[in-house]
Amino acid sequence: MKEALYDFIGHYGYIALYILLSAGIVGVPIPDETLMAFVGSLTAPGGPFEYGTTLIVIYAGTMTGMIVSYLIGHRVGKPFLYRYGKWFKLTPDRIERAEGWFHKYGLWTVFFGYFVPGVRHFTCYLSGVSGVKFYKYMLYAGTGALLWCTTFLTLGHFIGSNLDGLFNLIHKYMGVSFIILVVVAAIGAVIYFRFRKRRAI
């Protein structure tokens, strides 16, 4: 499948990137991170793509997918997702998992969900289902998308030919590592503010 995607990009360039990122966010089984990192390797000096233009295109594609997913969730609701979601990897178990994250962390799930495999495809739908204000959704979704796109595109840009081996390792542990970092940062913040409060007393 990867070879077919890469050939598609080779033939249609930036248009292909936009279409693939949009479809991947909606739920079509496309290896988003691998794709962005691969394209990032093509933005190295002498490559066929320009870094700044590529970042704009993949960001636009990602946000298009997020908006479409939000509107679908907002218009048709959860019953539609349970009935037809299986065609886009939206299985009941994954929907419930993402919903649990969404209820626990709110719109931060949209922001961080890009980096957690199996979550980012559902947070946008659930945002629409739950009636989150569109401007709030766009703020969190847009900021998270920019960070996500920049991270993997830049990773591919600097790693280049050594991309495949290192990326497989990163993708395997990305979700767990990111969650651990968030938890450690939260614990550190709690300890800091409690210590500061005691000193004030």
CA 171 to CA 33: how far, in whole Å? 8
pLDDT recorded at residue 94: 67
CA 122 to CA 154: how far, in whole Å? 25
* 74-85 pLDDT, tens digit each: 887 666 666 666
Of 29-38, 43-52, 146-155, 174-183, the least confident: 174-183
Cα 78 from chain centroid (whole Å): 21
Nearest to 42 by CA among 60, 65, 58: 58
The pLDDT confidence band at residue 56, using thresholds 50, 70 and 90, is very high
Is this model's pTM higher than 0.75 or not? no
The pLDDT confidence band at residue 57, using thresholds 50, 70 and 90, is very high
* 120-147 pLDDT, tens digit each: 777 787 788 777 888 988 998 899 899 9
